[in-house]
């Protein structure tokens, strides 16, 4: 018996019981029938997220190193002489590399595994396939132009690149600190979590009335990359990401309002006082 692959239910069509449920507290009498269900092959959620973060990273690098058949043979393996190009690659790579140890050591997933066939659905279901191709296509489009041999520096040159780098570093630190805060509030060995209303974290004080500060700082990091590269495909990639994260933030915000009775109703999902 492989526990993550099986579930116990009080009703054949009901929701699986949670690992922390206690039989004595369930709505049953002196006798009860538990239904044992095989959920099929499972994959760890950590592996799912590691794969997701590795995708954009691997897509970007071939354009940066200008491998053959991308820009023409005369540009094969010729690195750009723009400092902005090198910084953009470092920042883009760091953005996704940072998520890898966070996934391994910081994040706590309420569900340890997911059915393996769900991943197959994402690649075979038409709608999901279109969304996947759209995101990968945007990533490649962004990398193609921001690393193009004919790419030129932003309008204000090195000063613009340095200021954008400052925005990105600040937002990356804020994003990391917001990820650390919920982990520190969670009891050891528990998957329960609390909403941090007031903490000593300075990155929370700056944008306190927001439910999903991690998304706010995530989008701030991408604003830094947009300013650094001053490239239209990068801006469009940011726009797509902003729309998606806004939808996620609104979903989490509504969940907080339902689960926590004392949750402040004046909080915004992702942008203070606006959205």
**pLDDT tens for residues 48-86?**
777 777 777 888 888 888 888 888 777 777 766 677 788
Percent with pLDDT over 70 in the chain? 76
Average pLDDT, the chain: 78
Which of 113-127, 157-171, 190-204 is predicted with the least confidence, judged by mean pLDDT?
Answer: 113-127
SS3 204: helix
CA distance 167 to 217: 10
**Full-model pTM:** 0.74
* CA 129 to chain CA centroid, nearest Å: 19
Domains present along the chain, CATH in parentheses:
1-40 (3.10.20.90), 41-259 (no CATH)
Q: Which of 111, 110, 107, 245 is nearest to 179 (CA)?
A: 107
Task: Return the top range by mean pLDDT from 99-108, 116-125, 163-172, 182-191.
Answer: 163-172
Neighbours of 180 (CB within 10 A): 14
CA distance 163 to 67: 30
């Amino acid at each position: 018996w492989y526990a993550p692959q099986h579930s116990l239910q009080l009703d054949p069509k009901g929701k699986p019981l949670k690992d922390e449920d206690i039989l004595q507290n369930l709505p049953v009498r002196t006798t009860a029938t538990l239904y044992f269900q095989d959920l099929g092959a499972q994959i760890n959620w950590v592996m799912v997220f590691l794969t997701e973060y590795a995708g954009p990273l691997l897509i970007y690098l071939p354009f940066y190193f200008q491998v053959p058949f991308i820009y023409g043979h005369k540009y094969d393996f010729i690195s750009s002489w723009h400092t902005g190009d090198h910084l953009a690659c470092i920042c883009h790579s760091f953005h996704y590399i940072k998520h890898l140890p966070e996934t391994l050591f910081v994040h706590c997933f309420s569900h340890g595994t997911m059915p393996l066939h769900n991943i197959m659905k994402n690649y075979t279901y038409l709608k999901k396939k279109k969304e996947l191709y759209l995101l990968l296509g945007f990533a490649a489009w962004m990398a193609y132009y921001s690393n193009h041999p004919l790419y030129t520096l932003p309008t204000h040159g090195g000063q613009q690149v340095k200021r954008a780098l400052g925005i990105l570093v600040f937002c990356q630190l804020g994003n990391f600190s917001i990820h650390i805060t919920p982990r520190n509030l969670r009891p050891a060995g528990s998957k329960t979590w609390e909403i941090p209303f007031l903490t000593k974290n300075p990155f929370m004080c700056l944008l306190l009335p927001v439910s999903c500060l991690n998304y706010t700082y995530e989008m701030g990091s991408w604003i830094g990359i947009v300013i650094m590269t001053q490239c239209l495909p990068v801006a469009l990639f940011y726009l797509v990401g902003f729309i998606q994260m806004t939808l996620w933030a609104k979903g989490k915000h509504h969940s907080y309002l339902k689960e926590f009775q004392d949750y402040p109703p004046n909080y915004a999902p992702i942008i203070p006082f606006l959205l």
